[in-house]
Chain A
Amino acid sequence: MDMKNSSPRRTFFTQASAGVALLALAPGVRLVDLALARAQDEPASAAQRWGLLVDVDRCVSGCDACVSACNTEHGLGDSERPQTDAQWIRKVDLVDHNTGRQLSLPLMCQHCEEPPCVDVCPTGASFRRADGIVLVDKHTCIGCRYCMMACPYKARSFIHEDLTGQKTHAPRGKGAVESCTLCVHRVDRDESPACVEACTDAGREALVFGDINDRNDPLATQLAETTTRELRADLKLNTAVRYRGL
């Protein structure tokens, strides 16, 4: 038999065997995940609400693994003009005026339930997906920047120059506004956002991602068990990003 013809078949059987072995080894974990995943052509559901928990006590000043991962994942570059460079996630260092306590935390789009950016967008380009992820439709954004004026978290960036080498999963372009997508392309593949993965890989585990609506989800469990707070809680936006230890 021709090796060229037999190779794909052999690969198929190898992968299939591995798949069966995996299912046999960890049936509980994987089968539950597969049951939760939705097909690519299935719309996002309000049954889920994706969110993040930031454990400020675990976040370390000087560590920017989450920022680097985000920049790599979405092709955010450095134009040597920091005032106009896009930043979807940034590290913020805090010092308590009264006690001198030092904190460090990541700050990104808070994926509000009532997003001011969505309210003010004249064309509806800023929108909130059924599962709570706040996004910008790059085809209908006219670059008016009203959403940037309205965002309480300064989470959005305007693209001030021509871009090259964009990623197919992160369409970006001059003249439009963008912000953290909660790695929607990864979430739709049942993966965690790049920042969460990087934080875990760095051994910090300061970021927990999950479904706020699912009581069995580790995120929902932690939110239920500990005291967390949302930034600018006075605005009552019900953010999907919560902070512990702040």
Chain B
Amino acid sequence: MMKSAYFQSVSSSRGYWLISAIAGVITLAGLIGAEHMESAGHWVTGMSNQVVWGVPHVFAIFLIVAASGALNTASIASVFARDDYKPLARLSALLAIALLSGGLAVLVLDLGRPDRLIVAMTHYNFKSIFAWNIFLYIGFMFIVGIYLWMMFEPRMNRFTARVGTAAFIWRLVLTTGTGSIFGFLVAREAFDSAVMAPLFIVMSLSFGTALTLLIGMLIFWINGATMDPALAQKLRRLLGFFVIGVAYLVAVDHLTKLYVTGHHQLEQFILVDGGIYTLLFWGVQILLGTVVPAILLLLPRFCQRGYLIAAALLVVVGALTQVYVLIIGGQVFPLELFPGYSVTSTFYDGVIADYTPSLAELALGMGGMGLAVLVTLIGVRILPFVPVQMTGKNQD
């Protein structure tokens, strides 16, 4: 069993402070963007009464989905008893909390009334998936916190597997809840699908593993070490299969809609003549975010670290694009209220809505990423999250 002595906190170094400063500046920019949006109002964003959820939601959903997936490594170690993944278990749990913090911060700061957060914590409509998610997110933080305690405290190590199993089940439910935010939107044909819940679960596995690899490697680099190549290769193959899994469910979603005549116009828009959305779907989500990384991750000839980093980065870019096409593309396509009629109105009925993200909302979204990295950096500095044998120094 992995003991506390095998882990260390990250020591102070120029690299640590440099990355912390970059993450801090990005987080600060996010806060400035949020303050601008809240004081001026949302008209300073690209959002409107047509596109009500913009880029902040894209980042928030990406981070929240990735958070549950970041717990993969810890789950594999504790739930599936794979000791070779244990060196990364603590870091993976920390990442889960950090990414969720970043995502929730963006979600809250994008509210029309973020000052009423206390209302959201004290007034619940239990039929709302959003309300369920508030409990799922808080519960996830709590359970992963307990999970970390079990991992950190030698006397509690014997409970790690049991708490890890509870956390694993919780993260599956959490991602089901996040997917259902969209899946239960019966009014909008782009979202109203039972595929959303399993799609979001597989997305979480892929996004979370990619970020575990990237941020994990960054932390090791800061600490003057490299990730254990054998473990990196295992995660590489795993990520490759997760990318294929996401592609499969994306295909199922579109094929299901293509079968239904009523959805043909939506599919025509996303897949064929949707302009930027079609370009993003095929060019970035499918080609750069799925095909290229799948090749880099699954073909043995691309096993070098450089390819792995490139592939993980492409998965992240593809993931953000996927969430963008899903959320924004799904909203710009007009609601069909009058089948068989062409529709015009002063409220943009029947037309593809415009959406161009503004700097303020991009800053807020990126700020969530910055905050996630910042929380991780603070965590690894004050507590022993990083395995000693992977640092290349202080070998036990």
- Chain A positions near chain B (C-beta within 8 angstroms): 79, 81-87, 90-98, 103, 107, 116, 118-125, 140-146, 148-154, 156-162, 174-177, 231-232, 235, 246
Contact = CB atoms under 8 A, between A and B. Distances in A.
B341 A79 contact: no
A91 B49 contact: no
A165 B169 CA distance: 52
Contacts of B184: 120
Dominant secondary structure at the A interface: loop
B111 A161 contact: no
Contacts of B338: 92, 94, 231, 246
Contacts of A116: 186-187
Contact of A83 (B130, B344, B348): B348
Contacts, number: 169
Given A83-B48, A160-B48, 11 more contacts: A92-B345, A116-B187, A122-B130, A122-B134, A123-B131, A144-B130, A159-B112, A161-B43, A174-B41, A175-B41, A175-B112
A162 B41 CA distance: 7
Interface string B123-160: 11101111100100000000000000000000000000
A151 B187 contact: yes
A240 to B, nearest CB: 17
B185 interface: yes
B297 to A, nearest CB: 34
A102 B116 CA distance: 46
B343 A94 contact: yes
A190 B153 CA distance: 69
Contact of B113 (A122, A141, A146, A160): A141
Given A84-B42, A123-B125, A158 B341 contact: no
A241 B50 CA distance: 22
Given A86-B49, A157-B49, A176-B112, A91 B185 contact: no
Contact of A152 (B113, B129, B337, B354): B337
Contacts of A84: 42-43, 47-49
A87 B42 contact: no
Interface string B70-112: 0000000000000000000000000000000000000000011
Contact of A123 (B120, B331, B345): B120
Contacts of A91: 345-346
Given A95-B341, A146-B130, A160 B125 contact: no
A118 to B, nearest CB: 8
Nearest to B46: A83
A96 B346 contact: no
A153 B134 CA distance: 27
A175 B49 contact: no
B345 A107 contact: yes
B53 interface: yes
Contacts of B340: 96-98
B336 to A, nearest CB: 9
